[in-house]
Amino acid sequence: MTGKQTIIPFGPQHPVLPEPIHLDLVVEDERVISAIPSIGYVHRGLESLVDRREYQDFVYLAERICGICSFTHSSTFCQGIEGMMGIEVPPRATYLRTMWGEYSRIHSHLLWLGLFADSLGFESLFYNAWKIRESILNELEATTGGRVIQGVCKVGGVRRDVTPQFLSEMDDRLDGIEDEMKELTNVFLNDYTLKKRLVGKGVLSKEDAYILGAAGPTARGSGLDIDIRSTGYLAYGDVGFKPVVEKDGDGYARCAVRCKELFQSVEIIRRVMTDMPSGDVSVPVKGNPDGEYFSRSEQPRGEVVHYLKGNGTKYLTQFRVRTPTLTNVPALVSIIGGCELADVPQIVLTIDPCIGCMER
């Protein structure tokens, strides 16, 4: 016998959500029939400030679209301005941007692993993930001066350089971090309890992932080989890159993609360190941007697109961001339909929602 349909509100303030998003869950007994999302709790209207801030100052604002993917946003914005103005960025700067971008990815994935463990009530695992994340933040702080908001990217290059001595010592520290991450991911991929909550939950088929426009680990967990890093922007073309893809499309596959990307990122950082070219880290910038440009990058959560339009003054006329979480929400809504009510928090987390990015 089935009961009547009931609507259970999920969010905006919920213990598993560090950020506010609201879902109305239509349930019949314990089964979720559908989910109706409503967003807008973090919308600041940041893009509208573009005509009141000079394009070089706007890098700071672009960085504050989101505090987790901050570095990628600033580098994507700079990439757009540089593309529009035809600025040739020194190779050392592109390598440094690649390095910091990968550090941000590791810190973001560890953050997600921790939050996911926390959502299950697996507190010690949450703490372990965040302990390793602190070593990554130490590296970021030592090289850029900031923990989560780095402020190191600028139009024409980067603000800070790293010393050869620092790079050589970094290699040893990475070994330690890698060992710790191996222990951690072993729990995520092989623990009985975690498998129970992940395997077969929230299955997104390859076709659905493609039609609904999923991005990043959500798409790659469903067998779609989509990763903007394969296009070889920044230094990815030089160091070589092959996306991590899993076939199953369930929560476990998405978790496995992120676990494997941790080691892939460490590998990329190692290669960037060995091949780091010498020279300047920035070039002087003269003039103002004119024209339009689509700038694409791979964030920890998927592909981000910045659209910029200038008219030859120091203020851009238009700025638009398409972030991976927004394109992952339709996929999320589709996989929540038909699941158990108790699985909703975990399924919501497996797409790694970043509401700050999504609503700007």
Partner 1 sequence: MTSASKSPWILHYNASSCNGCDIEILAALTPVYDVERFGIINTGNPAHTDIFLVTGGVNEQNKVVLKNLYDQIPEPKVVVAVGICASSGGVFRDCYNISGGVDTIIPVDVYVPGCSVRPEALIEGIVKALGILEQKRAAMEERK
Binding site for partner 1 (CB under 8 A): 12-15, 18-20, 40-46, 48-49, 52, 60-61, 64-68, 70, 111, 114, 126-128, 130-131, 133-134, 137, 147-149, 354-356
Q: What is the DSSP string of 97-143?
A: HHHHHHHHHHHHHHHHHHHHHHHTT-HHHHHHHHHHHHHHHHHHHHH
Tokens for 148, please give them.
């989560």
- On the 0-12 / 13-18 / 19+ scale of CB atoms within 10 A, 129 is buried
Give Cα 214 to chain centroid, integer Å.
13
In the complex, minimum distance from the CB of residue 237 to partner 1, in angstroms, rounded to a whole number: 30
DSSP 41: S
- Helix, strand, or coil here: 277? coil
- Nearer Cβ to partner 1 (42/283): 42
The H or E element spanning position 338 is none
In the complex, minimum distance from the CB of residue 296 to partner 1, in angstroms, rounded to a whole number: 21
- Whether 318 and 50 have beta carbons less than 8 Å apart is answered as yes
In the complex, minimum distance from the CB of residue 100 to partner 1, in angstroms, rounded to a whole number: 16
In the complex, minimum distance from the CB of residue 24 to partner 1, in angstroms, rounded to a whole number: 15
- Nearer Cβ to partner 1 (143/150): 150
- Nearer Cβ to partner 1 (54/207): 54
- Nearer Cβ to partner 1 (139/227): 139
- Whether 345 and 336 have beta carbons less than 8 Å apart is answered as no
- Nearer Cβ to partner 1 (58/252): 58
- Whether 33 and 24 have beta carbons less than 8 Å apart is answered as no
User: Count of CB atoms within 10 A of residue 145's CB?
Assistant: 12
- Whether 245 and 222 have beta carbons less than 8 Å apart is answered as no
In the complex, minimum distance from the CB of residue 121 to partner 1, in angstroms, rounded to a whole number: 12
Tokens for 74, please give them.
């600033």
- Nearer Cβ to partner 1 (20/243): 20
In the complex, minimum distance from the CB of residue 115 to partner 1, in angstroms, rounded to a whole number: 8
